[in-house]
Chains A and B, each alone.
Chain A
Amino acid sequence: MTIEIIKPAASMLPQRHPMDPWAGRILHLVLGYNADILECTLTGPILRATARTILAIGAPEGALPYPVWEPIHLSAGEELDLRKLGGCSRIYLALASDSTSRPSPPMCRVAAGSPLRASKSGSIELSWVADDALFSDAAFQLLAASDRRGLRYAAATQVKGGREIPPEPMTYGAVQLPPSGNPIIVGPDGPLTGGYQRIATVANTSLRNLAWQLPGDQISFTKISREAALKRVLNLEDALVRDLLPC
């Protein structure tokens, strides 16, 4: 390893199911399929290269003072300070495997303006909605009692609570409405089934934005059709082929 951790992140773990399901796919195209990818939450680390090193960062556009979604070359002794995540809660750090060896796999960068370079926003799109409760309030605030199991939100004004249901399967992005009226969005480490009413599902391409929300941030929901949600997915799939430029 040619990286030394000067100060660790609050949490820095490889995740089989990252909160941003697109980050790993993009970074593997940027640095090659053997790259190790770590999900950093709340704060990132301070890193120092002990030899010539290549890494890449996955983060919303404009959040960090470093280039994102492209290889970063560090010479021996150079440091990277990722403590401040620029108003987002998660970034992805990709370390090129065996980065001193040659020949290395062809590396790429994501083209400027590509939809793969998304920015953080407070608007979360829903690809399925069973109950309009989520639209009766302008904003929902993310609570600190949130983690990869579930993102808990507080409604600014009282939302009519959901009912109890016979347990049904839950997946990452399922929006549950407990009787309290404060919605919970099931996370990638969330329960397999649940008995609080499921009233909506977050569109797959909006999961990225969800992964970046910080406790205290406010979001609002917009409904799109399943067809439109799938078009957004295909748009990103096309971008994975079109917008990765060799460098």
Chain B
Amino acid sequence: MKFEPVKNNILNKISACWISERELALTFNQALDQDLATEGMPRILNARVRRNISQSRHPDDAKVVLGANCVHITWDIESSARKLAHESQTILDQAIQWLGALLQEEANKSSDSSTNDLIAKKILITTKYGDAAEISHDLEKIARENQLTTAEILQRHLATTYVVAFPGFQPGFAYLEPLEGSPKIKAPRHETPRAKVPAGAVALGGPYCGIYPADGPGGWNIIGLTAMRFLDPTNGRDTWQPGDLVQFVEEIK
């Protein structure tokens, strides 16, 4: 199947906004996925696109960080102050073009089924759950909020296959998104984040699941504890990538 170039279609669906002297937020209009779907294209923000964006280098060597529906580009103030002050509009236009080109490349690839397959691995994460407060701090809170028992919450969580959506938060962390059709768990973040969440905490936040790579502050709901880590200490890189599948398995007591 062949697709016409969608360049303008894509460009018009990215909105750009400076959110500091040096940080540009490029946000995907929610209609973007919908439009592409009606043209027979896969979700533009699929795992492969996210992988490409998170691994790509911006031409100015600016820092690129992916969010759920956005990409932020941050320039170094020391080397770019004058450019940021005098060429804001040009920088903004070029950034939209840069991201548009990455998405365009993806849209073109999508029409070629031979390159359409995402190589993904499946990761099993052995996790301790339990009534002990130091392991499952927020399991009861989540059960109450969903009007379910703690056993039912765990059943839903263990029956869910997650996909690594995008990296973030801390090195070694990934936002794990339930595959479509998974049982739903509501997990609003804490009103005030905890000052210390232990390393290895398996936690739910909004629609996502995640594993805290190190002790630190956090606002998600802790439901378990795992000894597994996803940061390669030899090179500081994440050992999982967008598109990888994740399944939690209860550690036998």
Contact = CB atoms under 8 A, between A and B. Distances in A.
Contacts of A62: none
A229 B21 contact: yes
A169 B65 contact: yes
A146 B246 CA distance: 34
B170 A191 contact: yes
A230 B87 CA distance: 12
A166 B170 contact: no
A92 interface: no
B40 interface: no
A198 B70 CA distance: 14
B168 A193 contact: yes
A231 interface: yes
Contact of B69 (A166, A182, A203): A166
Contacts of B72: 168-169, 171
B160 to A, nearest CB: 18
A25 B79 CA distance: 12
Interface residues of A, number: 39
Interface string A201-235: 10110000000000000000000001101110110
Interface stretch (B5-13, B139-147, B186-194, B221-229): B186-194
B19 interface: yes
A178 interface: yes
Contacts of B67: 166-169, 193
Contacts of A168: 25, 67-70, 72
B70 A192 contact: no
Contacts of B191: 161, 178-180
Contacts of A164: 188-189, 206
B129 interface: no
Contacts of A161: 191
A167 B20 contact: no
Nearest to A168: B67
Interface string B173-210: 00100000000000011111101000000000110100
Contacts of B65: 169, 192-193
A191 B213 CA distance: 12
B168 A192 contact: yes
B249 interface: no
A191 B169 contact: yes
B228 to A, nearest CB: 20
A167 to B, nearest CB: 5
A173 interface: yes
B189 A25 contact: no
B212 to A, nearest CB: 11
Interface in A124-161: 127-128, 130, 145, 149-150, 161
Given A179-B191, A184-B193, A196-B189, A167 B68 contact: yes
Contacts of A198: 19
A34 to B, nearest CB: 18
A167 B82 contact: no
Most buried by B among A192, A201, A234: A192
Interface of B: 18-23, 25, 65-72, 74, 77-78, 81-82, 84-85, 88, 167-171, 175, 188-193, 195, 205-206, 208, 216-217, 219
30 contacts: A25-B78, A127-B21, A145-B195, A161-B191, A164-B206, A166-B67, A166-B68, A166-B206, A168-B69, A168-B72, A169-B65, A169-B70, A178-B189, A178-B193, A191-B169, A191-B170, A192-B65, A192-B170, A192-B171, A193-B66, A193-B67, A193-B169, A193-B175, A196-B219, A201-B23, A204-B77, A230-B81, A230-B84, A231-B85, A233-B81
Given A193-B67, A204-B22, A226-B20, 8 more contacts: A128-B19, A167-B169, A168-B67, A169-B66, A171-B74, A226-B18, A229-B21, A233-B81
